[in-house]
Amino acid sequence: MKLQPQTTEVTVVTKRNITTRFALNIYGIVLVLGLLLSIYTTTFSFEASLGFYQSEERLMEPKKMKEYIIFIVSTGIVYFLAVNLYFIRRNSIKG
């Protein structure tokens, strides 16, 4: 009985390195979306008997909600500009 060697092609897949810039951008996305979601989640509460209810008294007025959204979006823009400009400048200095 004669053995026949077989060859197969193997492709190596490397994992993507998670950089600090990537981590800070993901953190910023989660933070901004969480703050925008908090507009609607602050009106929900639990009763003493663990019943779930929505309090209409705690709901923001449309004008205040608009101001809050503008504040969160503008803060998010400043955050992403600061993070990305920092890493762009840092990489250009390293050269």
pLDDT tens, 17-43? 889 999 999 999 999 999 999 888 777
| Tally of structural domains, the chain | 1
Query: Which range marks the domain in which residue 58 is found?
Result: 28-94
- Residue from 33, 30, 50 nearest 41 by CA: 33
Predicted TM-score (pTM) of the model is 0.70
Is the C-alpha dihedral spanning 64, 65, 67, 71 positive or negative?
positive
- Residue 85 domain-assigned (yes or no): yes
- Residue 7 domain-assigned (yes or no): no
Residue ranges in the chain modelled with pLDDT below 50: none
- To the nearest 10°, the Cα dihedral for 76, 82, 84, 90? -170
Q: Which residues contact 84 (CB under 8 A, 6 or more apart)?
A: 21, 25
